Chain A
Amino acid sequence: MSDDVGPLEPVNDDVGPPEPVIDARGLRCPAPVIALAAAARQTTGVITVWWTDPAAEYDIPAWARMRGHEVLGTEPLRSEESNETADDAPTRGAPYATRVRITSP
């Protein structure tokens, strides 16, 4: 697992304001995509979405293709970033973070 490797790194290496993060952990399909779509209406640039629903793995990229946005990557969410506690994880499945570049308003 990638959480074993190295110290905590900043999510965003670019200068400027931090990227918005949508916390969709615990939400079931299609709620994570709806939360992301609502955020995408207010922002351009990169949005990170945290999710646990298994359908989000497929539906976030499918939504991005339909809307002309670009998925930059998906990684397991490190617990240090999210303040996830051990008690949360088993009930919801492993959390992931997906970064999406919003390329159209």
Chain B
Amino acid sequence: MTRYTYYPGCTLKTTAKNFEDSTLASSEVLDIELVEPERWNCCGTVHALATDDVMHHLAPIRNMIRVEELKEQDMVDNKKMVTLCAMCYNTLKRANEVFKSDRDKKKKIHDTMYREDIQYSGNVEIVHLLEVLREGGWDEVKSAVKKPLTGLKVAPYYGCLLLRPRGIGIDDTDNPTIMENLIEALGAEVVDFSHKQKCCGSYHTVHMKEAVADLSYNILKQAEDAGANILVTACPLCEYNLGPRQTQIRKQYPSFDSIPVVYFTQLMALAFGLDEEATAFEANKPDPMPLLTEMGLMEKNKNGSNK
């Protein structure tokens, strides 16, 4: 069992709790223990791009100090910070790079955070869970599969911040394969489609939801036209824009035929044969359970609830 520091991000504790629940359950099967620090703070969701900005780097760097503290207390086996949310991954990784390369900012950050017990050494590595899975080998994932997702046509949706900008992404920006490899290891069919890296609309969902609905509609339609019956994602904001926002899409495109959107760890939990609490499909909108039950990948109990 390898123990990693686990950084949840704010949303995984609230509206995206299903992402966290399915992750913790499926990681355990793969001998990955995710240790959440007792104290952590919001990473900021977006990286501060202005070159003179120091204030917005405090939040990400503070979290890295937490990783070093856990390692010092021997609660984890390495100095990696595992994230699930693509936005957290991007923000934390970029802040880390800035800290390591800019001596002036490093000094200012240390000076402001004089109340922390230790100074950040710069030695933490930010990784996304997909990278951890890739490092462990796809065969490991395959061997943990009890119920292969045969017949499920999965469209891998990366979104923006998992692959861009150059040098930060977890895979090649032009031809990523990491999600496809995971899907195949779980026994499902990969459906490649043109919009797998197109932005879902991101934070414009707050004040410009019509524009977001347009973008999301295109992504979902392309996935569907390519033959997918389910879409998989790694970011709670993408999931929100492509999932719950479908009610808005339907207002603008009444003939829209929706497909369910789930987190990649939920599919993992399903393939590993874990129970309802682990797959946590209840929170997903639209509901993926009818599709999965129809395909025989989930069982319906006698009292009507799903197993």
A binds B: no
Binding site for A on B (CB under 8 A): none
Enumerate chain A interface residues (CB-CB to B < 8 A). Answer: none
